[in-house]
């Protein structure tokens, strides 16, 4: 789980970092923490791969509300939690769909309750979106919009109902991020979303008028999965 702390006060950065690490240890979570001392820095560095962002509101250069608005232009899914000296700022969080806010001075009991809500929200969405890092941009796409995925010479192409997206990688790495009751590998180079299968031919699945070959060794498993999926 990737977490960002955006805070200009070093003391509060260290407090938040220790709270996050304590919570992760208590709940056996794997985390990676990045720290930024103003809103502009995270906006310039943002690649749509943070799960949770703790965002101070009062900061120089770019405040937390402005930074969150820019982040929301790129990523509508990450959880944003505001930090402020003043509770009245919390209402501004609605404009950027913030989950909650923490008031200073920070208290671990209140932090723990907010963190639990954030983690639950992240975990409920983990199988709904997937992050794709292309050569120039990062995309977060809805898993249910993927029709099929193919690999050719270490380049993975995600075919979706909206567009196609390329990234370098392997199908094995992608497969780990997909719900195994909805996606099936029909050969060594293609994974199909069973939701979009419109027909079955002798040796292929039909997805949006495209015939995707089924390997002989996988045919039985593919047909069994499709039968279970269709109910």
Q: What is the pLDDT of residues 157-174, one digit of tens each?
A: 999 998 999 999 999 989
pLDDT value for 137:
84
pLDDT value for 210:
94
Residue 36 class from Cβ within 10 Å (0-12 exposed, 13-18 middle, 19+ buried)? buried
210 upstream amide cis, omega within 30 of 0: no
Same domain, 29 and 115: yes
pLDDT value for 7:
96
pLDDT value for 80:
95
Same domain, 25 and 72: yes
Q: Number of folded domains in the chain?
A: 2
**Nearest by Cα to 174 from 163, 164, 185:** 185
Of the chain, the percentage scoring pLDDT greater than 90 comes to 63
The secondary structure of residue 215, as a DSSP letter, is P
Same domain, 112 and 149: no
Identify the domain boundary among 76, 98, 125: 125
Q: What is the side-by-side strand order in the sheet with 210-213? A: 197-200, 204-207, 210-213
Going by pLDDT thresholds of 50, 70 and 90, the confidence category of residue 184 is very high
Q: Residue 95: which domain range?
A: 2-125
pLDDT value for 116:
95
**Residue 13 neighbours by CB distance under 10 Å:** 19
Q: What is the arithmetic mean of pLDDT over 120-124?
A: 83
pLDDT value for 52:
96
Residues 145/160, Cβ–Cβ less than 8 Å: yes
């Amino acid at each position: 789980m990737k977490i960002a702390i955006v805070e200009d006060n070093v003391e509060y950065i260290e407090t938040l970092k220790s709270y996050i690490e304590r919570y992760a240890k208590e709940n056996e979570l794997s985390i990676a923490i990045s720290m930024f001392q103003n809103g502009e820095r995270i906006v310039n560095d943002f690649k749509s791969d943070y799960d949770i962002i703790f965002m101070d509101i009062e900061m120089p250069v770019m405040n937390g509300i402005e930074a969150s608005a820019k982040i929301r232009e790129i990523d509508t899914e990450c959880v944003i939690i505001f930090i402020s000296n003043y509770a009245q700022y919390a209402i501004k969080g609605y404009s950027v769909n913030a989950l909650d806010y923490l008031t200073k001075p920070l208290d671990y009991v209140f932090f723990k309750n907010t963190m639990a809500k954030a983690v639950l929200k992240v975990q409920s969405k983990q199988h709904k979106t997937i992050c794709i890092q292309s050569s120039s941009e990062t995309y977060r796409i809805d898993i249910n919009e993927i029709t099929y995925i193919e690999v050719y010479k270490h380049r993975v192409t995600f075919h979706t109902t909206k567009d196609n997206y390329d990234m370098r990688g392997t199908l094995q790495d992608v497969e780990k991020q997909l719900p195994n009751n909805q996606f099936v590998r029909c050969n060594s180079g293609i994974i199909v979303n069973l939701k979009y299968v419109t027909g079955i031919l002798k040796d292929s699945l039909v997805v949006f008028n495209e015939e995707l070959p089924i390997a002989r060794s996988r045919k039985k498993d593919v047909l069994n999965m499709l039968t279970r999926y269709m109910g």
